[in-house]
Amino acid sequence: MKKAFIFAAMVAAITLTACQKDDSPVDMSQLVGRWHETEILGGGDNYIFDEDGGYKRSEFSITSVDEPTRHWKEEGKYEISTGDDNKIITLFREGSDRGEQFRLLELNSREMIWEELIYGAGEVQKFERSTD
C-alpha cells in the first residue's frame, strides 16, 4: 500500500511539472532588433542583434542637447545557450575567439535586462527597444 501511494505521488508530481507553463521573463525570440541602454547619465551602449547571429555595439555620449554622438565600437557574432533557468548570450567580437557573457534576466518586446558575467561581473544593464 505504501509503495502504491509513493508511486501515485511521483506520477502526480511528474504530471504537474510537465504541465506547468514557462513563466520565464526571458523570451529569446525578442532579441533581434535595436536596443539602447537606459538609466545612464551622459551616454551608454547601443546594440543591434540580427537574425543571422550578428551584432553591432556602439557607445553613445550626449555632447549637446540636440544630438547624441554615436561611435561604433565593435561588430561580431553572438551565441545563445539556454539551460534550466539560465539564458546566456555570448558576444564574440570580430577577430576574437574570447567571448563576453551576459545572463538575460528579462527580455520582452520593450525591455532587455542582463547581468554581465565575465569582465564587469555582476553589473546589470537595462535596455529599451529602439525604434530609430
Is 122 among the domain residues?
yes
CATH number, domain at 55?
Answer: 2.40.128.370
Q: Give a yes or no: residue 18 inside a domain.
A: no
Does a structural domain hold residue 86?
yes
SS3 100: strand
Please report, for residues 17, 39, 81, 90, the alpha-carbon distance to residue 51 in angstroms, rounded to integers and kept in the order given: 32, 27, 16, 15
The x, y and z cell numbers of residue 112, run together, are: 532587455
Domain tally, the chain: 1
What pLDDT band is residue 82 in, cutting at 50, 70 and 90? confident
What is the reported pTM?
A: 0.70
Q: Would you give the DSSP letter of residue 30?
A: G
Domain span including residue 82: 25-129
Using one digit for the tens of pLDDT, what is the confidence trace for 66-75? 555 556 688 9
Summarised one tens digit per residue, pLDDT across range 90-128 is: 999 999 988 999 999 999 999 999 999 987 788 899 999
CA–CA gap between residue 132 and residue 125 (Å, rounded): 20
* Tens-place pLDDT, residues 37-78: 987 655 688 899 999 999 999 876 655 555 555 566 889 999
Q: Is residue 11 one of the residues assigned to a domain?
A: no
